[in-house]
Amino acid sequence: MELGRVARKWRARLDARVKHLGLTQARWIALLQLRRSGPLSQRDLAEQIGVEGPTLVRLLDGLQQGGLIERTATHEDRRVKKIHLTASAYPLIEEITRISDALREELME
């Protein structure tokens, strides 16, 4: 329970520090997961970040409108969409990572 509490507080502090980037916590978590895992299906991404399918669709709509992701049909099943980061996402992800690393150092001190 303590680890869960610490994780929630860490995410809340990081969320406050990246707020100026115009991303919700769910959006920056999705971007970081895609960078970590590479292209994922919508179902796999929803599972990995712990949200329901309809919630993920709205989240992805916002990221796509911002030019940060693309959704492409797979060759095996055209109903399945793979989520890919765009080139525009990487500078934003690097900024989130920089802020996250600084927060981690601060908290560990």
* Res 65: pLDDT: 95
Cβ burial of 98 (10 Å; 0-12, 13-18, 19+) is exposed
- Quick one: pLDDT at residue 59? 93
Indicate the angle between helix axes 89-108 and 25-37, nearest 10 degrees.
100
Q: In this predicted structure, what is the pLDDT of residue 95?
A: 95
pLDDT of residue 27: 92
Looking at the chain, the whole-number percentage of residues with pLDDT higher than 90 is 66
What average pLDDT does the structure give for the chain?
91
- Residues of the chain with pLDDT > 70: what percent? 100
Q: Which is more confident, 93 or 73?
A: 93
pLDDT for 10: 87
CA distances from 63 to 11, 75, 87 (A): 19, 23, 13
**Which positions ≥6 away from 53 have C-beta within 8 Å?**
42, 43, 46
Q: Is the pLDDT of residue 78 over 80?
A: no
Contacts for 64 with CB less than 8 Å, ≥ 6 apart: 70, 71
Task: Provide the 8-state DSSP code for 40.
Answer: E
